[in-house]
Structure 1
Amino acid sequence: MSKSSSRGRSLSSPAQVVAMLLVFLLLSTAGGVVAAGFAMPAVGVASAITKASAQMFDELPDDFNILEPSQVSVIKASDGTQITQFYAENRIVVSLDDISTNMQNAIVAVEDQRFYQHKGVDPTGIVRAIVSNASGGSQGASTLTQQYVRNILIEAGLQNDDDAAVAAAKAPTVARKLREIKYALTVEQKYSKQQILEGYLNIASFGPSTYGVEASAQHYFSHSAKELSVPEAALLAGLTNAPGMYDPVQSPERAKSRMDWVLQKMYEEEFISAEEYQAGLDTQIADLLKITDSVGGCGAAGSAAYFCEYVVGEIENSDIFGATEAERRQLLLRGGLEITTTLDTAKQAAADAAVQAYVPTGDPSNVKTALVSIEPGTGRIVAMSQNTNYGDATGSDPTATQISYSADYLHGGMESNGFQPGSAFKTFALAQWYQEGRSGYTVTNTTPRTFYFSDWTISCAPDIAPASWAPKNANNSENGRHTVVDNTALSINVGYAEMLVQMDVCSVTQLAADMGVTKANGDPIDPNPSVVLGGTETTPIAMANAYATFAAHGVYCTPVAIDSITDADGNEMSTPSANCKQVMSATAADQVTITLQSVMTSKGTGTAAALSGRPVAGKTGTTDEMDNAWFVGYTPQLATAIWAGHSDRYYAMNHQYIGGRYYATMYGADLPAPMFKTYMDAALANEPVMGFNQVSLGAGAPSSSNNSDDSAQARQTSAGGRHNQPDQQENTEDEHDDSDDED
């Protein structure tokens, strides 16, 4: 154990402590302090205060529990790569064995030379402080144990958001001193000197922005506290008195003077030799510092910042982590959590590359885009990217934002909760169609006509049907009679209106809700018939996850961003569950998948999304005036949604250059579909090719003698079949609906 050259004496009783302390307080705080020979009136007053304070001392509770100090929480990707960290106080708790003996000696020398002799309170130190202060000096009488107690009380107040408790722990009052003394005596009875020293070195501030000796050593010297040299230890020990005043970065001369004073104390206490003392004096601050700044929060997460916001939302909105949002936030900032997330760094890099390739950050068009990817059957979010820098908008970066365009409001998204998905919503009507046992080869009348109030079945809201509604197709070639598969491949509006009129609209919106596509408050979308054309806002993550349900054969999982969490002691904590459940029949889900493969055939709207050498299913989406464009698609291993539009309001994206390319139109086929291909080809490059389940689409399957349209639909049922991708698709998607037709 470290040695001390001084020999104090132990306290004989708490009364002695109180008496000596009160004399000290009286003489050091009252006006007209005498320099020598205590005057009788002063002694009399001290006696009276001592008697009253002794009673006060006895009434204080004996129990004092050591509080674990706040620690840094770390957020990691699924492969263990650190994404960022969160902290209210930048602190890393370590054991005494991992703290240099030089540091232990330095803090004892400067803060409490009789630390190893006293029992928590040092009467010799009190007397010395009385004499020093009576002579005009400034000498504290608190032992290292008392300082430890004070730091714990402050920390408890901070962790509980209790400003009054923090103020009481710092107040220059007799009551505070008495409390510190009693608690210090209690601590010394329950804990060893080594435990107390370890606790103090972990909780105290050793810099303006660092707490505990480990984080401070890494900040100032870029190595651990176990490696601290004598000069480094002296520099850190000198900071505890006034971290801001002696900060070696801002005030190197003042810091050097303080360091030399600590070295002198270490030499006087025989902790270092004359040679070490001189070597320390010869060491300059600039020779010691090797600053490593530690930045926390989602702003330090780089391109994963918006995914980071989703993780934060998971913690702040789940009662797993506390009864209130304030408690959950405190846990994140102070709990020393290790949070391993679902983020796949390779897929995130592929997402970033695809986004920047098509709509770079700061593009003059001001078009925004977002990409989010989910693992079917688990709900694990593996990538989330958008073409903005995370932060507040500035003159030099006016598009910077902290809002995630992929997520819902509770996870950092827009208050409006997303964007209109256009015809990408038709898939939910298709899913209900198959859920009811209907055939993909049913022929529908796709010639535009007016639908009236009496045409609709809306059991949950019968009065919501419009008096009349006349949806239009993109062009006359889509008029006539087409199968359900045709309606999907070509995205024929009237064909889907005809399908919807044969079902209960409420069953479609409820199925969408079962797959996570809801209003912002979680309620099903209003069952207005025009919903089939995608006029109600939703989020890219909701769409990606809903389509992942089809890939998972009808199993819906709540999106999850966290794989595991351990607390500061390494114990596993509960995490939000994906709660996977079957929400539609596996056969119906597989029928949806087979039908959505037709979208990627030569006649479909999503040809540009066809992947290289592997089967894929998906759907394009476009809204009125070409102000939102989507592609949502999937393979058995990965579901992805891509949105492009404007974040401030809806206005057209056609007839302009975006990302250096001119777009005469802006359908889901134009930008989102090729971006989808670019991303998915890269994200799945090292994964095996997997096919979809092959199921019948129902009665009326075409024979080889059928017309070419039907033959194309028959060919699309072959898993792995694909078509060459043209450089620029001819846009035939019919999703530019009149705004009057949308919710």
Structure 2
Amino acid sequence: MRAREKSDRGVVQSVVLFLGVSVLSGALAAGLAIPFAGLAGFGTEKTAETLQDLPIELKTDPLAVKSKMVAADGSLIATLFEQNRVPVKLAQVAPIMRKAIVSIEDDRFYQHGALDAKGTLRALVRNQSDGGVSQGGSSITQQFVKLSLIEKARTPEEVKAATAETYQRKIAELRYAVAVEKQYSKDEILEKYLNLANFGDGAYGIEAASLHYFSVHAAQLTLGQAAMLAGLVKNPSGYDPTNYVKRSKDRRDVVINRMKELNVVTAKQAADAIRTPVIDPKKVRKDPNGCATGNYPFYCEYVMAKLVDSKLFGKTKKDSEHNIKTAGLTIKTGLDPRIQAAAQKSIDEHSKPTDQAVSAVTIVEPGTGVVKAMAQNRPYGGGKNQTAYNYNTEKSYAGGYGGFQNGSTMKAFTIAAAIQKGFPLNFHINSPPTLDLRSARFSTCDGFTQAGDDYTPKNSTKAGGDMTMIEAARASTNTYFLQLSQQVGLCQVSKVATALGMRNGQTGEPLEQVVSMTLGVGLVTPLMLSNAYATFAAHGKYCTPVIVTGVANAAGKPVGNFGPNCKQVIEEKVADATTYVLNKVMQPGGTGGRLNFGPSDLAGKTGTINDNKAVWFSGYSSRLAAASVVADVHPSARNLIGQTHDGHELGHDVSGSGTAGPVWETALKAALKGLPTTHFTQPDDKTIRGDVKDLPSVTGLSPQDATNKLQQAGFQVEVAPGTVQSGEQAGTVAYTSPRQSEGAPEGSKITLYISDGTNGQQPPGTPTTPGGPGKPPKIPNCPPWNPKYPNCGQH
């Protein structure tokens, strides 16, 4: 008896509440906020407070629309979304779809206002009898409000509040619904609802759902298709036809029969539709989402990392990623599919995913910094012989590997620093096979650094002796460049390298100024190195690497400022003279000689680090610059000798030219195919000769007198060990390096060669490269504008 009384009382309370809500809907429409005192005791005070606090207008966020990333030619790289949605106008939705959703969700939608009184009374009575909220009575307008509030929720608390099964929330939704009905027409509300609704299996909005399940546009939907989609909104996961075919069919048929009851369709139309399959599995279209599903996952992830770092789309990483994936952006990148294909084909020709060693190459456009391609032998993924690391980029994001030591490719920056300081290209330094640098001091930006007490570096090639800068570059002579960097100063080398974008790929800090800096230092990336060399190709104009060339919003308007960001960082003459030297590396007899190809001028430099842990080749034409690396990525960085590369075990001939060089050559050759032939700018004669100072004549003087005289003139002095054949008196100076006729930059080191007193005079050691000491190809032996060298052309 007591239970019966409780049930009756509940029904009465529901009726009273319904009457109150009915009055409320009219009151709200008039813009009033009435207290709910007396409404059957249902949290009246809290409900009144809720209503008082609510604004009378529902402010909705823009629909979450998927963004896309495209290559330079406009082809798709990836789609990016949190909700797969393609908004459409109501006119682009088949009339039968509109009728289906109205029939099953709110058949009196066009007759009632914000509240369907009949449906609400039915739901209230049922819910009160059940002791909770088990049946809905919401109109399409109220459903739109609820979905909008859920869409706006950003925190778990906000989501909980937007979905709480309470009468306070239902009444709050009603107030918003009244405002929506005043603001929009019924067709506009239906359009917004159809674009917002979740249709299951990752499809949001009617257009995306139509394309996903049936591979047709919303305007082409049939009765059976429309009914299936209309049935989904009640329980998108529970009625998902890709997982629950029978359940989905039963729900679809309920919709069709309801449409028949309402005379929306005929009995025959309903029967025919019920006989059709729910979906054709062959036509279900999975929309790829994210970088991993595209053809260029490494490049794509790097783009995303840079966009997030820009803070243009949000202050936090989470906000940035959310906004990028929901704003309907078109992200335009610098990736050139033709050049990317050339790079990847080269990787595939010269390496294999199963190799122990990794191979990578980056191609950049000089003068713009646009990154045209990045390729590597390990494909993207978490499986065997796959990786999530991008071996071309710095460790500025989770997927960035962070680089490898770059070996002798670093010598290019020493060359540029020397030219910048006025050193001539034929500057002579005696370069023995082994150089004793024990406890040697090198100047830095902060003072000095000192070599260890056991540092005696060797040359990796047989070339040596009295060499010029060009000869030493062609042979990659370590002992020459160590001495040159000592004379130039590590600070100058560091400044040039930093200006050209060379930094530690792990930390982003400037490269360390250590004695061996010119032989490779820190950890650098193919992207970093190719872009630095591109600066030489661009006559000293450095451009920040460009991954994103532009971003447009959903309306097609530009967002942010992307594209080339360039500035002149070294003088044109310095860059062109550096290119002149690196071009000689590519000539016959140079370490890059066998990599030269085609009619366009090429310049480049090899690089091999200690214990062969990584080998490099970096080079360029005027149009494209590329850097390739073959390296070990084991945590302990092992020697490449004995590891597999291109399916074969590497022997003792691991080198920049022979191992990494072919990757560079094949990639750049294919990338340049079809492009106009280009030639480098010849540096002016004065730059080639350098900013030199007269050398006083010291031939025939004692070593001490010669040293004093040269030091008084502002030069450093060293005496070469041993003696040379000479007609000068034994124990006196036979000649100097550089020669008196050549002059030398102020403050540079002059080497004295001591005579043995015999007849005949020859330089100590013979370079293995053409041209001979002091006579590099096409370089005049003396400056034509300076008459102070009467013995021009003589030793």
Shorter-chain TM band: 0.7 to 0.9
Query: Does 2:350 align with 1:358?
Result: yes
Query: Does 2:372 align with 1:386?
Result: no
Query: Does 2:300 align with 1:308?
Result: yes
Return 132-141 or 628-637, whichever deviates more. 132-141
Query: Does 2:640 align with 1:653?
Result: yes
Choose which of 231, 240, 254 in structure 2 pairs with 1:238: 231
Question: Deviations for 1:61-99, whole angstroms, at most 9, x for unmatched residues?
Answer: 223212212111111111111111111122222222222
Counterparts of 1:262-301 in structure 2, within 5 Å, are 262-287=255-280, 290-301=283-294
Return 706-715 or 105-114, whichever deviates more. 706-715
Residue type at the aligned position of 2:120: I
Q: What is the CA-CA distance between 1:14 and the residue it aligns to?
A: 6.8
Q: What is the CA-CA distance between 1:429 and the residue it aligns to?
A: 0.7
Q: 1:66 to 1:44 in 2, by over 3 A?
A: closer
- Distance in 2, matches of 1:235 and 1:289, equals 17
Query: Structure 2: 5+ residue runs without aligned partners?
Result: 1-17, 29-36, 691-740, 743-765, 780-795
- Distance in 2, matches of 1:461 and 1:336, equals 54
The answer (yes or no) to whether the contact 1:312–1:411 under 8 Å persists in 2 is no
Q: 1:50 to 1:16 in 2, by over 3 A?
A: farther
- Distance in 2, matches of 1:189 and 1:289, equals 44
Residue type at the aligned position of 1:258: R
Choose which of 72, 75, 85 in structure 2 pairs with 1:78: 72
Return 607-616 or 130-139, whichever deviates more. 130-139
Q: 1:698 to 1:106 in 2, by over 3 A?
A: same
The answer (yes or no) to whether the contact 1:18–1:50 under 8 Å persists in 2 is no
Secondary structure, aligned partner of 2:56: coil
Residue type at the aligned position of 2:117: P
Residue type at the aligned position of 1:233: A
The answer (yes or no) to whether the contact 1:505–1:527 under 8 Å persists in 2 is yes
Equivalent residue number for residue 634 of structure 1? 620
Equivalent residue number for residue 558 of structure 1? 544
- Distance in 1, matches of 2:95 and 2:39, equals 45
Counterparts of 1:398-437 in structure 2, within 5 Å, are 399-414=385-400, 417-437=402-422
Counterparts of 1:67-466 in structure 2, within 5 Å, are 67-130=61-124, 139-157=135-153, 160=154, 162-287=155-280, 290-302=283-295, 304-363=296-355, 366-392=356-382, 394=383, 397=384, 399-414=385-400, 417-447=402-432, 448-451=434-437, 453=439, 455-463=441-449, 466=452
Secondary structure, aligned partner of 2:68: strand
Q: 1:269 to 1:437 in 2, by over 3 A?
A: farther
The answer (yes or no) to whether the contact 2:225–2:278 under 8 Å persists in 1 is no
Q: 1:412 to 1:601 in 2, by over 3 A?
A: farther
Secondary structure, aligned partner of 1:46: coil
Equivalent residue number for residue 688 of structure 2? 698
Residue type at the aligned position of 2:364: I
Choose which of 685, 689, 692 in structure 1 pairs with 2:673: 685
Q: 1:207 to 1:635 in 2, by over 3 A?
A: same
The answer (yes or no) to whether the contact 1:663–1:670 under 8 Å persists in 2 is no
Q: 1:433 to 1:110 in 2, by over 3 A?
A: same
Q: 1:247 to 1:656 in 2, by over 3 A?
A: closer
Q: What is the CA-CA distance between 1:581 and the residue it aligns to?
A: 0.6
Equivalent residue number for residue 559 of structure 2? 573
Higher relative contact order (CA 8 A, sep 6+): 1
- Distance in 1, matches of 2:282 and 2:194, equals 20
Q: What is the CA-CA distance between 1:454 and the residue it aligns to?
A: 5.8
Residue type at the aligned position of 1:163: P
Query: Does 2:488 align with 1:503?
Result: yes
Residue type at the aligned position of 1:510: K
Q: 1:437 to 1:95 in 2, by over 3 A?
A: farther
Q: What is the CA-CA distance between 1:424 and the residue it aligns to?
A: 0.7
- Distance in 2, matches of 1:185 and 1:246, equals 31
- Greater fraction helix: 1
Instruction: Please report the TM-score for the alignment, with normalisation by the length of structure 1.
Output: 0.85
Secondary structure, aligned partner of 1:710: coil
Secondary structure, aligned partner of 2:312: helix
Residue type at the aligned position of 2:669: D
Counterparts of 1:589-738 in structure 2, within 5 Å, are 589-649=575-635, 650-655=637-642, 658-661=645-648, 663-664=650-651, 665-695=653-683, 696=685, 698-699=688-689, 709-710=770-771, 715=777
- Distance in 2, matches of 1:691 and 1:714, equals 20
**How many residue pairs were aligned?**
672
The answer (yes or no) to whether the contact 2:25–2:114 under 8 Å persists in 1 is no
**Which of the pair has more CA radius of gyration?**
2
The answer (yes or no) to whether the contact 1:464–1:527 under 8 Å persists in 2 is no
- Distance in 2, matches of 1:120 and 1:571, equals 36
The answer (yes or no) to whether the contact 2:606–2:616 under 8 Å persists in 1 is yes
Q: What is the CA-CA distance between 1:56 and the residue it aligns to?
A: 3.5
Question: Deviations for 1:252-304, whole angstroms, at most 9, x for unmatched residues?
Answer: 111111111111122233332333222211112245861111121111122x1
Question: Deviations for 1:375-399, whole angstroms, at most 9, x for unmatched residues?
Answer: 111111110111112122x3xx2x2
Return 465-474 or 67-76, whichever deviates more. 465-474
- Distance in 2, matches of 1:130 and 1:328, equals 43
The answer (yes or no) to whether the contact 1:601–1:716 under 8 Å persists in 2 is no
Q: What is the CA-CA distance between 1:48 and the residue it aligns to?
A: 6.4
Equivalent residue number for residue 734 of structure 1? none
Residue type at the aligned position of 2:556: G
Q: 1:48 to 1:88 in 2, by over 3 A?
A: closer
Query: Does 2:23 align with 1:16?
Result: yes
The answer (yes or no) to whether the contact 2:442–2:450 under 8 Å persists in 1 is no
Secondary structure, aligned partner of 1:456: strand
Secondary structure, aligned partner of 1:276: helix
Equivalent residue number for residue 25 of structure 1? none
Q: 1:230 to 1:338 in 2, by over 3 A?
A: same
Q: 1:581 to 1:51 in 2, by over 3 A?
A: closer
Residue type at the aligned position of 1:492: T
Q: 1:457 to 1:89 in 2, by over 3 A?
A: same
Query: Does 2:58 align with 1:64?
Result: yes
Equivalent residue number for residue 532 of structure 1? 518
Q: What is the CA-CA distance between 1:15 and the residue it aligns to?
A: 6.4
- Distance in 2, matches of 1:227 and 1:530, equals 70
Q: What is the CA-CA distance between 1:133 and the residue it aligns to?
A: 5.2
Query: Structure 1: 5+ residue runs without aligned partners?
Result: 1-10, 22-42, 718-743
- Distance in 1, matches of 2:412 and 2:645, equals 28
The answer (yes or no) to whether the contact 1:620–1:632 under 8 Å persists in 2 is yes
Question: Deviations for 1:151-192, whole angstroms, at most 9, x for unmatched residues?
Answer: 1111111xx3x1111111111012211221111111111122
Equivalent residue number for residue 473 of structure 1? 459
Q: 1:256 to 1:666 in 2, by over 3 A?
A: same
The answer (yes or no) to whether the contact 1:444–1:481 under 8 Å persists in 2 is yes
- Distance in 1, matches of 2:460 and 2:218, equals 69
Instruction: Please report the TM-score for the alignment, with normalisation by the length of structure 2.
Output: 0.80
The answer (yes or no) to whether the contact 2:471–2:776 under 8 Å persists in 1 is no
The answer (yes or no) to whether the contact 2:228–2:249 under 8 Å persists in 1 is yes
Q: What is the CA-CA distance between 1:139 and the residue it aligns to?
A: 3.7
